Amino acid sequence: MVFWKHFRDLFGGRGSRSGVWESGPETIIAPQVAEAAALLQALADGGQVPGLAVRIQYRGTPLLRAAYGYADLENPVPASPGTLFRIASVSKPITATALARLVEAGKLRLEDPLEDYVPEFPQRGIHLEQLAAHTAGLRGYRGKEYALNKPFSIAESLEIFRDDPLVFRPGKGFLYNSFDFVLLSLAMERALGIPFHELVRRYVLEPLGMQDTCMELPGQLRRGQARPYTRGARGFRPSIPVDNRYKLAGGGYLSTVDDICRLGQAYLDRKAVDPVVAREFLTSREISGEPTWYGLGWQVSRDAGGREYYGHVGNAVGGYSNFFVYPERELVVAILINCTDPGLQPMLDTAVEAVHAGIGRVAP
């Protein structure tokens, strides 16, 4: 217990400026959780990230809920577990959950042709399922398209890519991109006749208690939002302004580690969507007999230790995110960083691996 108290004081106890750490009941895991906390705190203390928030929960109980570094370097404002971050492509599982609920409610079908909802898009033969699975054949970003700062509506943004040929015939290949989710969100909002962000609020955020998850307001920071940064030769600088509203579905949401874990836990508890529908979304598609390691809005794969997980990694201007759900371990991981890809994924993986090592001692 002396060891446990030492690490509680070090990473989240009295006098700690950098974070809050809550432990779960499995004290046998304490050394491995402390190792993960130390690795993550070192990233902020060493200037490798501006700020970072993390929540790791096991069987619904937080093992680690902490924040390190700063939400705002200039002022300065410390990061906290309640800080809002740009979650980038972790937005896709939120959209996928909304789509699954619409399918469950009979509002639309995965096999519906895109032209039923977006007739102005010139490419034919695309189904909604293919958009969610990234098998529709749409291209990815070109040049600086990932960093646009134009007040497009979802429909207006089609001008970016609508006249470009498909990379492959729908269903014949896999190409990860965010334009798939632009089209998907437009189809969803037209199917219900309400704006996409309102649809997600009604079908996902409110039912699952994700009260902090929201759309970013261009040109201003929401209360509690981390300032987004980009790393340069002389350190971190504020990121260029962007307007992500048109691609809200694929990479535009703000959220907290608490809300992201609520989403993951809802899937473990079978409260997010009907289990049969969830299985459809959480099953990797195949192309020519080979898995894509992607379901419908979810990365579906195995980690370096061979453990199955679903979730997503995200990278955007001023934001980097990890979200992993390990169903066999009943483990949910959310890590959010307020800078464009810091190039530290191996370190994040090592921190998560340390927690797995501890859980392996109590639940092999």
Residue 167: how many other CB atoms lie within 10 Å: 14
Longest C-alpha distance within the chain, in Å? 67
Edge-to-edge, what's the strand order for the sheet holding 77-78? 77-78, 61-72, 51-58, 331-337, 319-326, 308-316, 299-302
> Which tens digits make up the pLDDT trace of 90-145?
999 999 999 999 999 999 999 999 999 999 999 999 999 999 999 999 999 999 99
> Which tens digits make up the pLDDT trace of 300-330?
999 989 999 999 999 999 999 999 999 999 9
Phi/psi of residue 310, nearest 5 degrees: -135, 155
Distance CA 331, CA 261 (A): 10
- Token look-up 């962000």 returns 197
Phi/psi of residue 173, nearest 5 degrees: -160, 180
Which candidate, 122, 135, 142, 140, places its Cα nearest to that of 168?
135
Please determine, for residue 232, whether its predicted confidence score (pLDDT) is greater than 80.
Answer: yes
> Which tens digits make up the pLDDT trace of 27-79?
557 889 999 999 999 999 999 999 999 999 999 999 999 999 999 999 999 99
Q: Positive or negative CA dihedral for 74, 76, 77, 78?
A: positive
DSSP alpha helix (H) spans, the chain: 2-12, 30-45, 91-104, 128-133, 179-192, 196-200, 248-251, 257-268, 275-281, 345-362
Any idea which fold 84-343 has?
Answer: Beta-lactamase (3.40.710)
Which candidate, 342, 294, 309, 308, places its Cα nearest to that of 92?
294
Distance CA 226, CA 210 (A): 18
Q: What is the predicted pLDDT for the residue at 30?
A: 83
C-beta of residue 237 within 8 angstroms of C-beta of residue 243: no
Quickly state the pLDDT bin for 3 (edges 50, 70, 90).
Answer: very low
Alpha carbon separation from 347 to 61, 107, 124 (Å, rounded):
24, 42, 43
* pTM (predicted TM-score): 0.92
Residue 317: how many other CB atoms lie within 10 Å: 22
